[in-house]
């Protein structure tokens, strides 16, 4: 797994197989742009393909997780080594905006949701518009006490064009998503917890410790079964019961015969803790 500093973020690797992406432009509240988005997608793709990577953690430095897009479009906001070549940003006409949204902006959330490996957003500060959608795309969200989450695109007469409306409807339901978006709500970490937008809230100085504790727990679990279950959970949200039953049966036909399942049963019979993922350590 490549580690280092890329466009707008740095990548580190912690045992056991925890990839940490940290947005490192705190002076801009880690606002995003096309270069950051494309490099982030490439990093997520590498997490998917590298066996040593088990869990993805995304966080930010300073007061911002990701405070939306950098609407100033600073040409110099390009620090770090680019992972992919530059391309035209679009937005010069309606079809250009459509292309840019589908293939640059929305690609981040698609990549996170398509990632078989579990992801955690450690929401350290402002997660607005793009940042909120990214956090909601992750499988788990741990928020610092001082964090703020919201879309508020209507403040600019704009839409939550990166899929925020879908993610909010999944988590809140139609009525609450309507209220959240139409009233341009930006909520505190505690309010987000009550709404179900985050899983837990931690004191600011304990955010990463708690996140890494969760990441380690997940990384030590049976990775193949967990990745299949993640996909089944998201699929179930859009399937009929009959289709969901067939889908989970097909996946179980694989997981039941995996070495992790044999280890799990052996550990249970021996009354010991299982040691999953030995197949990864043998590579």
Residue pLDDT tens, the chain, 283 long: 999 999 999 999 999 999 999 999 999 999 999 999 999 999 999 999 999 999 999 999 999 999 988 866 554 455 678 888 888 888 899 999 999 999 999 999 999 999 999 999 999 999 999 999 999 999 999 999 999 999 989 999 999 999 999 999 999 999 999 999 999 999 999 999 999 999 999 999 999 999 999 999 999 999 999 999 999 999 999 999 999 999 999 999 999 999 999 999 999 999 999 999 998 887 6
User: Do 210 and 231 belong together in one domain?
Assistant: no
Cα 146 to Cα 183: distance, rounded to the nearest angstrom: 21
30 and 107: one domain? yes
Q: Are the C-beta atoms of residues 198 and 123 closer than 8 Å to each other?
A: yes
Same domain? 133 vs 241: no
Mark whether 273 and 164 lie in a shared domain. Answer: no
Based on the domain organization, do 244 and 198 belong to the same domain? no
Interaxial angle between packed helices 164-172 and 130-137, expressed in degrees from 0 to 180 and rounded to the nearest 10? 50
What is the spatial distance between Cα 192 and Cα 185, in angstroms, rounded to a whole number?
Answer: 11
**Could you tell me the residue range of the domain that residue 254 belongs to?**
223-281
Instruction: Looking at the structure, tell me whether residues 236 and 135 fall in a common domain.
Output: no
Do 134 and 264 belong to one domain? no
**Together in a domain, 25 and 73:** yes
CATH number at residue 228: 1.10.12.10
Domain final position from 178, 196, 219: 219
Answer with the one of 175, 190, 219 that is the final residue of a domain. 219
**Same domain for 118 and 193?**
yes
Same-domain pairing of 145 and 277:
no
Strands 148-150 and 186-188: antiparallel
Q: Report how many domains make up the chain.
A: 2
Residues 131 and 247 in one domain: no
pTM score of the predicted model:
0.95
Is residue 234 located within the same domain as residue 112?
no
């Amino acid at each position: 797994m490549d580690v280092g500093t890329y466009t707008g973020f740095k990548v580190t690797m912690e045992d056991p197989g925890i990839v940490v992406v940290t947005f490192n432009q705190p002076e801009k509240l880690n606002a995003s742009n096309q270069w950051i988005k494309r490099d982030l997608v490439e990093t997520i793709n590498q997490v998917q393909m590298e066996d040593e990577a088990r869990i993805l953690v995304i966080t930010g430095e300073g007061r911002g997780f990701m405070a939306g897009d950098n609407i100033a479009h600073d040409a110099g906001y390009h620090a770090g080594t680019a992972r992919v070549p530059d391309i035209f940003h679009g937005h010069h006409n309606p079809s250009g905006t459509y292309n840019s949204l589908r293939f640059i902006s929305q690609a981040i959330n698609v990549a996170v949701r398509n990632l078989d490996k579990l992801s955690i957003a450690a929401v350290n500060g402002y997660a607005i518009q793009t940042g909120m959608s990214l956090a909601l795309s992750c499988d788990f969200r741990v928020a610092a006490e001082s964090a703020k989450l919201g879309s508020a695109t209507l403040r600019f007469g704009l839409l939550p064009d990166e899929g925020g409306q879908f993610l909010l409807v999944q988590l809140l339901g139609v009525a609450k998503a309507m209220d959240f978006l139409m009233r341009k709500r930006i909520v505190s970490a505690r309010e987000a917890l009550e709404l179900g937008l985050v899983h837990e809230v931690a004191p600011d100085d304990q955010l990463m410790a708690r996140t890494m504790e969760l990441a380690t727990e997940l990384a030590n679990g049976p990775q193949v079964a967990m990745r299949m279950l993640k996909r089944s959970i998201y699929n179930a949200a859009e399937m009929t019961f009959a289709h969901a039953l067939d889908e989970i049966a097909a996946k179980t036909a694989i997981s039941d015969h995996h070495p992790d399942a044999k280890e799990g049963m052996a550990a249970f019979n021996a009354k010991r803790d299982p040691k999953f993922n030995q197949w990864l350590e043998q590579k």
